[in-house]
Amino acid sequence: MFQLLATNQTARRGELTTNHGVVQTPVFMPIATAGAVKTLMASEVTALGASVILGNTYHLLLRPGEERMRALGGLHTLMRHDGPILTDSGGYQVFSLANLNSTDEDGVTFQSHIDGARIRLTPASSMAMQDAIDADIMMQFDDVAAGVSTRERYDDAMRRSLRWAKESKAAANPSRQLFGIVQGGTHEDLRKVSAEGLIEIGFDGYAIGGLSVGESRVDTFRITKMLGAMLPVDKPRYFMGGGMPEEIVYYVSVGVDMFDCVLPTRNARHGMLFVWKGDPAECVREAFARAQDGAADFRIADALYEKVQITRGVFADDTTPIDDHNDGAPTSQQYSRAYLHMLFKIEEMLAFRLATIQNLRFYLRMMEELRKCIAGS
């Protein structure tokens, strides 16, 4: 299902074939949390250069629920998205959003953050929900330890996740792809046990979970680089939930293939835009070269973008385009910063949409250029 097309040092250029088309990697996957990439239609997300869209199992389990999702024909039908869909397992949201009641060896019991309803999630029920969503790529159900947990907690969660990996595989609809998730916090030995255990079970791809959850960026980079070097070369690697553009450039340089992150869309809604420093091809080429040279993260960022906080007063009179260099986002080249500033001041929904388009296109364009950097074309 995954074909490695080219490498550049440890960076990889590949093709991932799914039930809904071929994905060019490295790839960034916009997040349609509860059935929509906020403010946008699926066709618009695709027009910005996206292929895979990510759906959140936890949110869709609460609304519309498994039975109704199945009856409605799944998320492709609802969103009218013909491309691939990847779903997470719900595990992370249970820990971060829900009122968690208990974790036992078989699964978790939690209360919905919407209506307080008591819900049970297990490897088998997570697979069933992801199947109802009609996901092309499913994630194993995992136990996510994060933040100030002890080594014992990380060890315990990692071993439980390994057991759940096996149970997920046993329960998964084999016509869909299934990824295992490496856990173990910032402990290299635990990460190694996790990765080896998953490889032994055998998955269509391997995700790096439990990072970008509050640890220092030095630790994130260290663990990601270590896993980039040890995960199977013939399977895609997916860094879950990260990150800033400079982080993604770094992760790509150490061999990661797939990414998702709320930053481009969430920051957009707060008026924070990623704006190209110049020609995108040149910016990304320079950033990628710096990442390969082991440059500090802020130096990678410095080659790529300026943060434009469009709500600042200085933009009220700025008649220049939102981002002249962001080709593929016509609205960013057509509308002025003054107009976008004005729309943010009145909290007009169009503001969130124009900003979302700017940031999503920035990320997707960055991936296009990263792919060229690796393939040498």
Residues in contact with its own copies by CB under 8 A are 34-36, 38-41, 59, 63-64, 68, 71-73, 77-80, 316-317, 319, 331, 334-336, 338-339, 342-343, 345-346, 348-350, 352-353
Nearest approach, Cβ of residue 331 and its own copies (Å): 7
From the CB of 80, what's the least distance to its own copies, in Å?
6
Strand stretches in 104-259, DSSP E: 108-111, 118-121, 137-139, 177-182, 205-208, 237-239, 258-259
- Smallest distance from its own copies to CB 114, Å: 9
3-state percent breakdown (helix, strand, coil) of the chain, nearest 5: 45, 20, 35
What are the catalytic residues? 88, 260
Shortest Cβ 141–its own copies spacing (Å) = 23
User: How far from chain centre, in Å, is Cα 283?
Assistant: 22
Closest listed residue to residue 270, CA positions, set 338, 333, 358 = 358
Question: Whose Cβ is closer to its own copies: residue 216's or residue 319's?
Answer: 319
Which CB, 219 or 318, lies closer to its own copies? Answer: 318
| 298-308 exposure pattern, b = at least 16 Cβ within 10 A, e = fewer | eebbbbbbeeb
Of 29, 12, 97, whose CA–CA distance to 360 is shortest?
29
When the beta carbons of 34 and 281 are compared against its own copies, the nearer one is 34
Q: Closest CB to its own copies among 306 and 317?
A: 317
Residues 6+ apart with CB under 8 A from 363: 28, 30, 245, 248, 261, 264, 274
CB closer to its own copies out of 78 and 364: 78
First-last CA distance in the chain: 23
Minimum gap (Å) between residue 76 Cβ and its own copies: 11
- The dihedral of CA 267, 269, 271, 275: what is its sign? positive
Distance in Å, CB of 272 to its own copies, minimum: 18
Cβ atoms of 187 and 235 closer than 8 Å: no
Write the burial class of residue 253 (CB in 10 Å: 0-12 exposed, 13-18 middle, 19+ buried).
buried
- Cβ proximity to its own copies: between 307 and 312 the closer is 312
